[in-house]
């Protein structure tokens, strides 16, 4: 085997040129080639205590799969990842590795950590290009489990249960499977063909996916039990978007990030002649600092906006988005207006002509400058408004990306399912809800979080459901 | 895929279809809606349930051809299929405790008002229906309203059928003569519902309206269908897809809803015209 690579820096990720990619929806990061992957793998010291594994929400056997890459056994590497993760091609792209596995990497102490995420992506893409072998499943055990929602937690739970021999049906409310991976995360960050490939893999494992069924409406959780399912996993996602409660949020041109991204991603409004409209061009302000805000801002740019602002009330240090997304956004020309908070959205109003077609459309957003005060209970410094510091940002579109509140549909139709103060489903450590045989995970439990934490919850629940049904 | 079991042209711009959707038919109640896509590239549009047959497993939809999607849907024939059909969504119309109700429907809104009238009639309530249309050739469902109501008043804007005038004319007459109702339920264009609410307000009779804002997912995810209610002097955001589509008419900010409804007017007009041109070419 080749000698360890002691370069303190990661092999850089090849990307599309920033100025070019700001105007197309093709994937930004292009992925390692085989030689680069092996070179990067050789940076791994194969530590005996494997600190990286403890940083992974689904505990992928990281040094083990990297060893296989060093040997050039890419399919072998994939099979090791597949033991722990149902969606490696997705995670390699969207996980915040810098705060998870890579944060624990010993190489990160005196340099950059091993590019674990980039290697995971390489291995998954290699497998998808070269192999059609579905992960192995145990023989069918005759037990039926229903999964509500086909986002990351639902797909993971379904995949693990199928591997363990269960007959699994996934119920999806929308017309396409994938949940937030399809309606939320844009094509340039996660190509839809990759999600489809992962969904097809599940189908090849025998998982049935039923679209257009809204659990809580079309069927209730209790009816699923009547239909013969012995356990139910709820991974219905986060739900209704939050708004700030400031004047002007109902103006035309104010979107929630969910609506904006759904129009562009799921409904393909970014194509040339879409059937679903979206407001394109002009100046756009995105309010919020998470990954969703970055996705919305970069989508707006690609749809033809002349200027896109991120408006965030804290500073760059507190910005919760994945570092790589922030860097990509900056490179593409998105302007960060930090320590700013909107106080009012301004709209056009012609008092002399009620039928003026411009009436009711956004013309600007009034903001106030902020400074950081004392830390709050979570240790984050609280932003405080600076008196008399208001200014107006000249914009035509405002996208609110300040989180979501749980969807009430399942809670309101499922007796015995308890939720907490803000509407998240209450679960034990292993994902069990207050209703027997019903498990839950992902954003429906935690509120808006990451793809990988939802997958982790789906995995834990699958194990718990297996134990529950064995009793 | 969901089969079109039957199709009937109700007037030059309004079409009725029964769609094979057993799971939806089993649950649907008056006041709820469905979301459909005509084909795999189509947009998602909400349509309020106009009826259902639980035994046959069919859901009735009645729609007006107002844009590209409804134009495309109107070209689908009996025996053909539509891509997606999900529901029932939203909360059913609240009918409990109502013994004497005035239903005010306008245009294609009458299609949605009908199942409400039928449900009330079935539970023994007294139903007075006022249905309004622009002109004689647009009148729909008169017979069905007759069967579901104790009294039906048909209004046309141009007087070509029934009485001449808008739906508020007979409503105001009834209020002036001291007629009492437990509730007024109105379904139709926003501007009509706004006037019905204002006509009813001085009487203090509760007045519910059925909102039909722009929606994408319809399941409580996108927030596109939000509207503002004025509750005890406070402005409160609600979502038609999970909190509605029925709301207390006295609380709804109609002016805002009308502005929001026009957000994509230019796009929709353009898209409608190009779809029509496409069909015209096919015919040639």
Residues B254 and B113 in one domain: yes
Residues B85 and B104 in one domain: no
Nearest alpha-carbon partner for B162 in B147, B176, B151, B148: B151
Cα distance between residue B104 and residue B200, in whole Å: 11
- Is 3.40.50.12710 the CATH number for A144-239+406-470? no
Query: What secondary structure does DSSP assign to A427-447, as a single string?
Result: --TTSB-SSTTEEE-THHHHS
Q: What is the ipTM of this complex?
A: 0.91
Residue A307, pLDDT > 90, answer yes
Decide which of 3.50.50.60, 3.40.50.300, 1.10.260.40, 2.60.40.1930 is the CATH code for A243-403: 3.50.50.60
Q: pLDDT tens, B41-78?
A: 899 999 999 999 999 999 999 999 988 899 999 999 99
CB contact under 8 A, B226 and A211: no
Helix (H, G, I), strand (E, B) or coil at B185: strand
Domain pair A144-239+406-470 / A243-403, same fold:
yes
Q: Is the pTM of this model over 0.90?
A: yes
Domain definitions of chain A by residue range: 18-130, 144-239+406-470, 243-403
Count the Cβ atoms, other than its own, within 10 Å of residue A307.
17
Residue B103, pLDDT > 90, answer yes
User: Is residue B193 a part of any domain in this protein?
Assistant: yes
Residues B71 and B172 in one domain: no
End-to-end Cα distance, chain B? 29
Residue A1, pLDDT > 70, answer no
Residue in the structure block whose two tokens are 């982790």:
A456
* pLDDT for B284: 66
Q: Which residue of A has its CA nearest to B275?
A: A275
Q: What are phi and psi of A54, to 5 degrees?
A: -70, -20
Cα distance between residue A431 and residue A439, in whole Å: 5
Mean pLDDT of chain B: 93
Residue B283, pLDDT > 80, answer no
User: Is residue B48 a part of any domain in this protein?
Assistant: yes
User: Is residue B94 a part of any domain in this protein?
Assistant: no
* pLDDT for A256: 96
* pLDDT for B276: 79
Contact residues, chain B, for A236 at CB < 8 Å: none
Cα→Cα distances B224→A255, A298, A441, B216, Å: 7, 20, 26, 7
Residues B126 and B253 in one domain: yes
A residues 137-196 lying closer than 8 A (beta carbon) to B:
173-175, 183
- Read off the pLDDT band of B281 (50, 70, 90): confident
Count the Cβ atoms, other than its own, within 10 Å of residue B77.
9
Cα→Cα distances A49→A57, A219, B123, Å: 17, 48, 71
- Read off the pLDDT band of B263 (50, 70, 90): confident
A residues 229-288 lying closer than 8 A (beta carbon) to B:
237, 239-241, 243, 245, 249-253, 255-256, 258-259, 262-263, 266-268, 273, 275-277
CB contact under 8 A, A360 and B265: no
CB contact under 8 A, B220 and A409: yes
Q: pLDDT tens, A209-222?
A: 999 999 999 999 99
How many domains is chain B built from? 2
Cα distance between residue B194 and residue A12, in whole Å: 61
Helix H or strand E encompassing B275: helix B265-283
Cα distance between residue B261 and residue B208, in whole Å: 19
* pLDDT for A134: 76
Residues B171 and B257 in one domain: yes
Residue B237, pLDDT > 70, answer yes
Mean pLDDT of chain A: 93
Task: Give per-residue burial for B11-31: e unless 16+ CB within 10 Å, then b.
Answer: bebbbbbbbbbebbbbbbbbb
Residues B85 and B218 in one domain: no
Contact residues, chain B, for A353 at CB < 8 Å: none
- DSSP E strands in chain B: the ranges are 2-11, 14-20, 33-37, 45-48, 51-53, 58-64, 81-82, 84-89, 100-106, 126-133, 151-156, 163-164, 183-187, 207-210, 226-231, 234-239, 246-248
CB contact under 8 A, A218 and B87: yes
Q: Of B89, B122, B154, which closes a domain?
A: B89
Count the Cβ atoms, other than its own, within 10 Å of residue A245.
9
Helix (H, G, I), strand (E, B) or coil at A305: coil
CB contact under 8 A, B217 and A262: yes
Helices (H) and strands (E) in chain A, counts: 16, 16
User: Is residue B234 a part of any domain in this protein?
Assistant: yes
| Facing residue for A219 by CB, picked from B23, B223, B256 | B23
Cα distance between residue B7 and residue B190, in whole Å: 27
Residue A3, pLDDT > 90, answer no
Which CATH number do you get for residue B203?
3.40.50.80
Shortest alpha-carbon distance between residue A29 and chain B (Å): 28
Share of chain A above pLDDT 90, in %: 77
Q: Which domain holds residue B167?
A: 100-261
User: Is residue B95 a part of any domain in this protein?
Assistant: no
* pLDDT for A83: 86
Share of chain B above pLDDT 90, in %: 85
Count the Cβ atoms, other than its own, within 10 Å of residue A127.
22
Q: Of B64, B89, B114, which closes a domain?
A: B89
CB pairs under 8 A between A and B: 119
Cα distance between residue B105 and residue B123, in whole Å: 20
Cα distance between residue A440 and residue A447, in whole Å: 12
* pLDDT for A355: 83
Residue A189, pLDDT > 90, answer yes
Which stretch of A375-384, B31-40, B162-171 has the lowest confidence by average pLDDT? A375-384
User: Is residue B66 a part of any domain in this protein?
Assistant: yes
CB contact under 8 A, B23 and A218: yes
- Please give the distance of CA B22 from its chain centroid, rounded to a whole number: 22
A220-231: average pLDDT: 97
User: Is residue B279 a part of any domain in this protein?
Assistant: no
Helix (H, G, I), strand (E, B) or coil at A289: coil
Q: Of B89, B117, B147, which closes a domain?
A: B89
Q: pLDDT tens, A54-113?
A: 999 889 999 999 999 999 999 999 999 988 888 889 988 888 888 889 999 999 999 999
Please tell me the number of Cα atoms within 13 Å of B129 on its side-chain side. Answer: 31
A423-441: average pLDDT: 95
Cα B64–B66–B68 angle (5° rounding)?
120
Residue A310, pLDDT > 90, answer yes
Contact residues, chain B, for A179 at CB < 8 Å: none
Q: pLDDT tens, A313-356?
A: 999 988 999 888 999 999 999 999 999 999 999 999 988 888 88
| Facing residue for A275 by CB, picked from B69, B226, B228 | B69
Contact residues, chain A, for B239 at CB < 8 Å: 240
Specify the length of chain A in residues: 471
Residue B278, pLDDT > 80, answer no
Contact A297, A336 (CB under 8 A): no
Whether the CB of A463 is below 8 Å from some CB of chain B: the reply is no
Residues B128 and B63 in one domain: no
Helices (H) and strands (E) in chain B, counts: 9, 17
Nearest alpha-carbon partner for B217 in B56, B48, B37: B37
Nearest alpha-carbon partner for A100 in A459, A458, A463, A449: A449
User: Is residue B148 a part of any domain in this protein?
Assistant: yes
Superfamily of domain A18-130: Alpha-helical ferredoxin (1.10.1060.10)
Cα distance between residue A375 and residue A121, in whole Å: 37
Specify the length of chain B in residues: 284
Which CATH number do you get for residue B29?
2.40.30.10
Nearest alpha-carbon partner for A105 in A57, A42, A63: A63
Q: In what order do the strands lie in the sheet with A167-171?
A: A208-210, A167-171, A144-148, A231-234, A438-440
Q: pLDDT tens, B242-261?
A: 998 999 999 999 999 998 98
CB contact under 8 A, A214 and B24: no
Contact residues, chain B, for A237 at CB < 8 Å: 221
Shortest alpha-carbon distance between residue B43 and chain A (Å): 5
Residues B169 and B136 in one domain: yes
Contact A159, A205 (CB under 8 A): yes
CB contact under 8 A, A259 and B216: yes
């Amino acid at each position: 085997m080749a000698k360890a690579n002691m370069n303190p820096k990661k092999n850089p990720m090849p990307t599309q040129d920033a100025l070019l990619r700001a105007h197309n929806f093709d994937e930004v990061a292009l992925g390692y080639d085989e030689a680069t992957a092996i070179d990067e793998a050789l940076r791994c010291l194969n530590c005996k205590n494997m600190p990286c594994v403890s940083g992974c929400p689904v505990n992928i056997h990281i040094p083990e799969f990297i060893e296989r890459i060093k040997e050039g056994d890419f399919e072998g590497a994939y099979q090791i990842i597949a033991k722990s993760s149902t969606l490696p091609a997705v995670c390699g792209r969207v996980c915040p590795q810098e705060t998870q596995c890579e944060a624990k990497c010993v190489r990160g102490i005196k340099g950059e950590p091993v590019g674990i995420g980039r290697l995971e992506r390489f291995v998954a893409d290699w497998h998808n290009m070269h192999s059609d072998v579905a992960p192995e499943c145990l023989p069918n055990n005759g037990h039926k489990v229903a999964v509500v929602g086909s986002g990351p937690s639902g797909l993971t739970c379904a995949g693990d249960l199928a591997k363990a021999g269960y007959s699994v049906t996934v119920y999806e409310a929308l017309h396409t499977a994938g949940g937030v991976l399809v309606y939320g995360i844009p094509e340039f960050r996660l190509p839809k063909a990759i999600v489809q490939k992962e969904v097809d893999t599940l189908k090849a494992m025998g998982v049935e996916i039923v679209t257009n069924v809204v659990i809580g409406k079309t069927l209730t959780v209790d009816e699923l039990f009547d239909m013969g399912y012995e356990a139910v996993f709820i991974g219905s996602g986060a739900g209704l978007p939050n708004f700030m409660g400031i004047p002007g949020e109902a103006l035309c041109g104010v979107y929630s990030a969910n609506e904006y991204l759904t129009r562009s991603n799921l409904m393909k409004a970014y194509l040339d002649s879409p059937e679903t409209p979206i407001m394109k061009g002009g100046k756009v302000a995105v309010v919020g600092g998470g990954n969703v805000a970055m996705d919305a801002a970069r989508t707006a740019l690609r749809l033809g906006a002349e200027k896109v602002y991120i408006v965030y009330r804290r500073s760059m240090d507190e910005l919760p988005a994945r570092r790589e997304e922030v860097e990509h956004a900056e490179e593409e020309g998105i302007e960060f207006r930090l320590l700013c908070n909107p106080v009012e959205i301004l709209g056009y109003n012609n008092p002399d002509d009620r039928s003026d077609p411009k009436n009711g459309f956004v013309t600007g957003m009034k903001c106030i400058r902020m400074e950081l005060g004392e830390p709050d209970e979570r240790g984050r410094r609280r932003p405080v408004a600076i008196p008399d510091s208001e200014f107006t940002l000249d914009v035509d579109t405002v996208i609110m990306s300040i989180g979501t509140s749980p969807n009430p549909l399942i809670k309101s139709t499922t007796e015995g399912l308890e939720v907490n103060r803000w509407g998240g489903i209450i679960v034990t450590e292993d994902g069990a809800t207050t209703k027997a045989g019903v498990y839950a995970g992902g954003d429906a439990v935690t509120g808006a979080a990451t793809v990988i934490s939802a997958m982790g919850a789906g995995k834990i629940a699958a194990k718990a459901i297996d134990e529950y049904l064995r009793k | 895929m969901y089969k079109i079991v039957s199709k009937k042209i109700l007037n030059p711009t309004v079409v009725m279809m029964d769609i094979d959707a057993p799971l939806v038919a089993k649950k649907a109640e008056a006041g709820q809606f469905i979301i459909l896509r005509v084909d795999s590239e189509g947009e998602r549009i909400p349509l309020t349930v106009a009826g259902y047959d639980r035994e046959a497993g069919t859901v009735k939809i009645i729609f007006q051809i107002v844009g590209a999607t409804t134009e495309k849907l109107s070209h689908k024939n009996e025996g053909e299929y539509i891509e997606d059909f999900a529901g029932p969504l939203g909360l059913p119309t609240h009918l409990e405790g109502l013994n004497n109700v005035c239903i005010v429907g306008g245009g294609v809104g009458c299609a949605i008002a009908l199942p409400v009238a039928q449900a009330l009639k079935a539970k023994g309530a007294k139903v007075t229906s006022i249905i309004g249309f622009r002109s004689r050739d647009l009148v729909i469902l008169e017979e069905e309203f007759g069967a579901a109501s104790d009294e039906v008043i048909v209004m046309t804007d141009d007087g070509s059928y029934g009485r001449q005038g808008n739906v508020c004319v007979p409503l105001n007459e009834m209020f002036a003569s001291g007629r009492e109702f437990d509730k007024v339920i109105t379904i139709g264009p926003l501007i009509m519902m706004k006037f019905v609410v204002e006509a009813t307000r001085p009487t203090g009779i509760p007045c519910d309206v059925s909102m039909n804002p722009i929606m994408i997912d319809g399941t409580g995810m996108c927030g596109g269908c939000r509207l503002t209610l004025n509750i005890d002097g406070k402005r409160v955001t609600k979502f038609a897809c999970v909190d509605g589509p029925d709301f207390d008419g006295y609380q709804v900010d109609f002016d805002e809803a009308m502005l929001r409804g026009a957000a994509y007017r230019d796009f929709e007009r353009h898209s409608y015209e190009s779809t029509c041109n496409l069909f015209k070419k096919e015919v040639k």
